Chain A
Amino acid sequence: MTIIILVAASDGLRGHLTRWMIEASAGVFVGNPSRRIRDRLWELLAARIGDGQAILVEPARNEQGWAVRTAGRNRWQPVDFDGLVLSARPKNN
Chain B
Amino acid sequence: MADIWWKADPHDLHRLTDRVSSVYVERSHLDRDENAVVIINKRQTVRVPAAMVAVMLLGPGTRTTHAAIRLLADSGTTVCWVGEQGVRMYAAGLGPSRGAGLLHRQAWLVTRPKERLAVARAMYSMRFPGEDVSALTMQQLRGREGTRVRKQYHHHAERTGVPWNGRVYVAGDAHAAGDDLNRLLSAANAALYGICHAVITGLGASPGLGFVHTGKATSFVLDIADLYKAEYTIPLAFDLTAQGLTEERDARLGLRDLITRDKLLTRIVTDVKNLLTPEGAEFEDSEANLLWDEQVGAVSGGTNYADSADLSVYGIGDNHIAVIGPDLDETGPTS
Determine whether the beta carbon of A37 is less than 8 Å from that of B14. Answer: yes
A40 within 8 A of B: yes
Determine whether the beta carbon of B36 is less than 8 Å from that of A15. Answer: yes
State how many angstroms separate the Cβ of B184 from the closest Cβ of chain A.
Answer: 31
Determine whether the beta carbon of A33 is less than 8 Å from that of B34. Answer: no
Determine whether the beta carbon of A34 is less than 8 Å from that of B14. Answer: yes
Q: Which of A4-22 contact B (CB under 8 A)?
A: 11-16, 18-22
Residue in chain A with minimal CB distance to B53: A19
Residue in chain A with minimal CB distance to B74: A19
In which size bucket is the chain B interface?
20 to 34
Given contacts A34-B14, A36-B11, A40-B12, whether A19 and B36 have CB atoms under 8 Å apart is yes
Q: Using Cβ atoms and an 8 Å threshold, which residues of chain B touch A14?
A: 34, 36
A23 within 8 A of B: yes
Determine whether the beta carbon of A31 is less than 8 Å from that of B36. Answer: no
The interface size of chain A toward B, counting residues with CB under 8 Å, comes to: 21
B35 within 8 A of A: yes
Determine whether the beta carbon of B47 is less than 8 Å from that of A18. Answer: yes
B305 within 8 A of A: no
| Other-chain residue from A12, A23, A40 in contact with B35 (beta carbon distance below 8 A) | A12
Given contacts A19-B49, A40-B12, whether A12 and B6 have CB atoms under 8 Å apart is yes
Bound CA span A11–B48, Å: 16
Determine whether the beta carbon of B34 is less than 8 Å from that of A12. Answer: yes
Q: Using Cβ atoms and an 8 Å threshold, which residues of chain B touch A40?
A: 9, 11-12
Residue in chain B with minimal CB distance to A23: B47
Bound CA span A85–B33, Å: 37
Bound CA span A77–B329, Å: 75
Determine whether the beta carbon of B18 is less than 8 Å from that of A34. Answer: yes
B209 within 8 A of A: no
A68 within 8 A of B: no
Bound CA span A40–B37, Å: 20
Among A15, A34, A36, max chain B CB count under 10 A is at A15
Bound CA span A18–B35, Å: 8
Q: Which of B16-36 contact A (CB under 8 A)?
A: 18, 33-36
Bound CA span A82–B210, Å: 60
A44 within 8 A of B: yes
Q: Interface of B with A (CB < 8 Å)? A: 5-6, 8-9, 11-14, 18, 33-37, 47-52, 71, 75
